[in-house]
Amino acid sequence: MKDKVIVITGASAGIGAAVARQAGALGAHVVLAARRPKELEEAARASGDAALAVVTDVTVRAQVDALASAAIARFGHVDVWINNAGRGITRKVSELRDEDLDAMITDNVKSSLYGMQAILPHFKERGAGQIINVSSLLGRVPFAPFRSAYSAAKHALNALTACLRMELRASHPGLVVTLVSPGVVATEFGTNALHGGMDSRAFPGAQSADDAAAAVIDAIRTGKIDVYTQATGAATVQSYYADIEAHERTSPFAQPRRP
């Protein structure tokens, strides 16, 4: 971890700020990006003397490109790029408006796409690098109807992440593409959701941002490509899809399976 250059979006609070603090404490050079200057500077001060804060709106492609340029100009290269910025929603499918879905795609999918595309040329030139896309357990199991469009957007992000990994596998084997799926984390995510919502910090069993960040740090150390920040994550996904199969087998509309 020491001397690695790590770019983190959505780094003014929550998981992003926690990753920056932990990486900085381990000797990494961190570049923090977010829209809020005051909070971003505070997070950077807590992340080591070499930390760089770059005010960035990740929904604007030109600003994400400028972020990549600023990181490379300051440190000479980038080792890890973490697309962590995102936003939730509190609205069921039956209530969604066009602008709701557009906002979720922009905030959770396009923002990460811009990051991937901004840093890829640099990583390809170096023949090394790691892209980490922070998704959500709701990108695997859509069990929260009020997070409908957020869940859909994270499913889309998961697909883009997997497709990029396959795209690079043969031509650039030194590039690692990692997906991280947190569950409920005790941050301001809920209160910052579009249309408001319950404070995520009030959810029973919510994971701390520091614990979620530790899973991201571990993914950097190990190069893992599919990470759940909570030990029960994988089992939750498996149980969800096992239940779907059981429902299909017992449904009166089920068709007999051909051998």
CA 95 and chain centroid, separation: 26
In whole angstroms, what is the distance from residue 141 CA to residue 143 CA?
6
* Under 8 Å between Cβ of 108 and 89: no
| Three-state DSSP state, 258 | coil
* Under 8 Å between Cβ of 92 and 148: yes
Q: Of 76, 179, 171, which Cα lies nearest the Cα of 124? A: 171
Biggest distance spanned by C-alpha atoms of the chain: 64
Q: Of 64, 63, 84, 92, which Cα lies nearest the Cα of 194? A: 92
Q: Which residue among the candidates 114, 150, 228, 241 is catalytic per the annotation?
A: 150
Contacts of 81 (CB under 8 A, 6+ apart): 6, 7, 68, 115, 116, 118, 119, 123, 129, 130, 131, 132
Catalytic, 114? Answer no
User: Which amino acid is located at 240 in the chain?
Assistant: Y
Catalytic residue positions? 150
